[in-house]
Amino acid sequence: MYKLKTKSSCKKRFKKTATGLFMRARACHKHNMRNRSMRSLRAGRRAVLVSPADAPALSKMMPY
C-alpha cells in the first residue's frame, strides 16, 4: 500500500499527543489584545484539545 500524505495545513495548526488526541491553539490571540482582559490573554496562551466531533476528520488528514 502506498504512503499517505499529511495535509500541510494540518501540520502547521495541530499537534498529535502521545495518546492520539489533537491539540490546537486558541483563537483571537493575534492582534488587538489591549482591549481584552488579562484573564482571557492568559487563557489564550494554553493549547486545548480538538473537539471529539472533529477528531476523526483530523486523523484522516494526519495519518502519522
Quick check: is 60 in a domain? Answer: no
Residue 64 has pLDDT above 90, yes or no: no
Give the global pTM.
0.81
Quick check: is 56 in a domain? Answer: no
C-beta of residue 23 within 8 angstroms of C-beta of residue 13: no
If one counts the domains in the chain, the total is 1
pLDDT in tens, 27-63: 988 899 999 999 999 999 999 999 999 999 999 999 9
Quick check: is 7 in a domain? Answer: yes
Quick check: is 8 in a domain? Answer: yes
The confidence score (pLDDT) of residue 1 equals 83
Quick check: is 54 in a domain? Answer: no
DSSP bridge partners of 22: 16
C-beta of residue 52 within 8 angstroms of C-beta of residue 21: no
Rounded Cα distance, 55 and 31, in Å:
28
Range of the domain at 37: 1-49
Quick check: is 38 in a domain? Answer: yes
The confidence score (pLDDT) of residue 20 equals 92
The confidence score (pLDDT) of residue 28 equals 87
Q: What is the mean predicted confidence (pLDDT) over 16-23?
A: 95
